[in-house]
Chains A and B, each alone.
Chain A
């Protein structure tokens, strides 16, 4: 029973966003996160939200998948929003016992909710349009200057690649082991928290043991294939920057300029 789980849910496609260099996408995603916090008024925020929706459309990934990715954090968004609702300052609009709703509170709640939602949506754009391998490649290239500081960039990247490769395999194995233990009467469903954690031991220990075995076998196999670390290693898939990447960077710079301009011209919305 293999599940179709690709980490970060990469949806293959041919859109413009799919074709962008993954390094650019990664950098721009980080930039976007920064922009979200730089924008101090609703105008700036709206600009970013519009940009996000535009990119979502360009990505060619069905809207309902984007909203599925929201399901997980919906609770946090609501919780944060409500918290801000009741902790604003300034003129009070509604009094509920000892709690009060202020105009500022409403503004802040909306602001923060929109921030979080855009963050999630933009990150989803990244993971939907970039394969896990592209992401690890991009991170390896971007972090390579750190080699100067003796950071083992290649090794970290190799670890990530192997981890990604084995996630589905380990999930399958977990299924198998759970079935085997259930067949011996293990009860994974009932009982309080402590009981359920204890019930996981017959699954976790075999999983650990087999993982050590895998690591041993894999290390041997890699050595047999002349693996000797990152030195002298080439890559079949080389990342090249193209015109569209340049366009994306220019676009991002313009966005930053626009947001800063709006910050200067209009009053701040967040208090």
Chain B
């Protein structure tokens, strides 16, 4: 069932954006049409400047299209009277773990969202406890945020959205500032939430190894959708991705290059295991011939 629909979305920054001040007036989005169903895990992949972060802010009405429309659960994001309702359905986690946390105690920060929504105190308490358990941070509920690692802070931010019981969570490069362990923690949490609670996840990233975990990958380049499909469908187009400054995992790249040199490798290899499984029979075959 369709949950978010964007129709030919255009956007231009008419003031300098803190991220890209050298591009004051420039078309960031040039017609993006996208449909996202409830319960999907979609990855929006693109290099810096592709428009992916701008697109992320369209989903919860932080930005309104200059042309085109965005509908969230049937609500037009351009309709200011529905902004509040839209944000009750779509929550957002940003890149910088520190700059999202408002309170000096973890559980109070997670309560911030429900408090804004006017939820009853007893219900807030219940939601906060549940949310913290869902992200595996319940033991830290009375800790101060500044003592936590980046990965832990991001999980608190996610818990804060969970406590608002939104149908969808948009994560804008949530792991860009984290170390490998933090990245793994956050990705594991996102996977779990999508699988076990059916929460719609939209992950903005430039990491291939994260996009690979999604159900659908949408590749953005220069404000347009370059290609989309399942991870396998998308990452088999290695040549295309490389031309557009996107990375492929070494395993995928190796298989691609070997195919190019004439070896009968599969069309798309996504992991080390798949690569090894494809290579071994071929090595054995050639070894037997020798």
Contact = CB atoms under 8 A, between A and B. Distances in A.
A124 B225 CA distance: 61
B94 A226 contact: no
B83 to A, nearest CB: 9
Contacts of A164: 104
A238 B121 contact: yes
B167 to A, nearest CB: 14
Interface centre among A161, A162, A221, A225 (most CB of B within 10 A): A225
Interface centre among B62, B107, B116, B117 (most CB of A within 10 A): B116
B145 interface: yes
Interface stretch (B67-75, B95-103, B269-277): B95-103
A59 B69 CA distance: 61
B111 A236 contact: yes
Contact of B62 (A133, A224, A226, A234): A224
Interface string B108-131: 100111111111110011001000
Contacts of A226: 84, 87-88, 113, 116-117, 164
A236 B115 contact: yes
A233 B98 contact: no
B286 to A, nearest CB: 54
A267 B100 CA distance: 60
Interface residues of A, number: 33
Contact of B108 (A133, A213, A228, A234): A133
Given A169-B98, A226-B164, A228-B116, A236 B145 contact: no
B200 to A, nearest CB: 16
Nearest to A226: B116
Given A236-B111, A236-B125, A218 B147 contact: no
Interface of B is mostly: helix
Contacts of B92: 221, 224
Interface string A131-154: 111000000000000000000000
A132 B62 CA distance: 32
A168 B116 contact: no
Interface residues of B, number: 42
A233 B60 contact: no
Given A132-B104, A162-B102, A233 B62 contact: no
A158 to B, nearest CB: 8
A214 B146 CA distance: 14
Nearest to A6: B144
B94 A161 contact: no
Contacts of B231: none
A187 interface: no
A132 B108 CA distance: 12
B147 A2 contact: yes
Contacts of B180: none
B156 interface: no
Interface in A198-227: 213-214, 216-218, 220-227
A133 B99 contact: no
B104 A165 contact: yes
B18 interface: yes
Given A165-B104, A169-B98, A225-B91, 12 more contacts: A2-B147, A161-B103, A161-B104, A165-B145, A165-B146, A172-B146, A218-B99, A221-B102, A224-B62, A225-B116, A234-B118, A237-B121
